[in-house]
């Protein structure tokens, strides 16, 4: 039982370490996305700008504009880049949440492993 408790404590510590590593990576990724956005687009208004560009693209498609038209290509490129930025921000938020969950899970595992080792030594 003592070996099992030690194994659980080691897994808990590893989970805490990975959680601590995930959180700074998430904030760095979010900052890189914010830095790479064009002028006039911030993380706060990213969803609004994507909605506007997506609406303009839908209008161009509905109007039957050929895909070789420069305006069509420009709007398609803007929609694609803003969509990728939205995806990257969402992934950074998920990574931040996963880091917090790992830390909480790691603390629980470490405490549970310690309790398991203590229980065996008392018996």
User: Cα(38)–Cα(3) distance, rounded to whole angstroms?
Assistant: 55
Question: 72 pLDDT exceeds 70?
Answer: yes
- What are the structural domain ranges in the chain? 2-122
Query: What local confidence, expressed as pLDDT, does residue 65 receive?
Result: 86
pLDDT classification of 1: cutoffs 50, 70, 90:
confident
Quote the CA–CA distance of 116 and 2 in Å, as a whole number.
7
Residue 105 has pLDDT above 60, yes or no: yes
CA pair distance 61, 23, nearest whole angstrom: 41
Cα-trace Rg, the chain: 24
Across the chain, what does the average pLDDT equal?
90
Q: In whole angstroms, what separates CA 32 from the centre of its chain?
A: 13
Q: Check the CA dihedral 57-60-62-65 and report its sign.
A: negative
Contacts of 4 (CB under 8 A, 6+ apart): 116
pTM exceeding 0.75: yes
Reported as a single tens digit per residue, the pLDDT across 9-63 is: 999 999 999 999 999 999 999 999 989 887 788 888 999 999 999 999 999 999 8
What pLDDT is recorded for position 28? Answer: 92
- Determine the distance from the C-alpha atom of residue 44 to the mean position of all C-alpha atoms in its chain, rounded to a whole number: 16
């Amino acid at each position: 039982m003592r070996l099992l408790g030690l194994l659980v404590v080691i897994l808990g510590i590893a989970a805490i370490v990975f959680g601590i590593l995930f959180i700074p990576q998430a904030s760095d990724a979010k900052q890189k996305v914010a830095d790479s956005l064009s002028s006039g687009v911030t993380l706060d208004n990213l969803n609004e700008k994507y909605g506007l560009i997506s609406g303009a693209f839908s209008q161009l498609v509905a109007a039957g504009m050929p895909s070789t038209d420069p305006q069509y290509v420009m709007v398609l490129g803007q929609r694609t880049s803003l969509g990728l930025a939205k995806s990257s921000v969402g992934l950074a938020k998920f990574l931040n949440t996963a880091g917090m969950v790992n830390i909480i899970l790691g603390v629980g595992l470490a405490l549970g492993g310690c309790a398991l080792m203590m229980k065996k030594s008392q018996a």
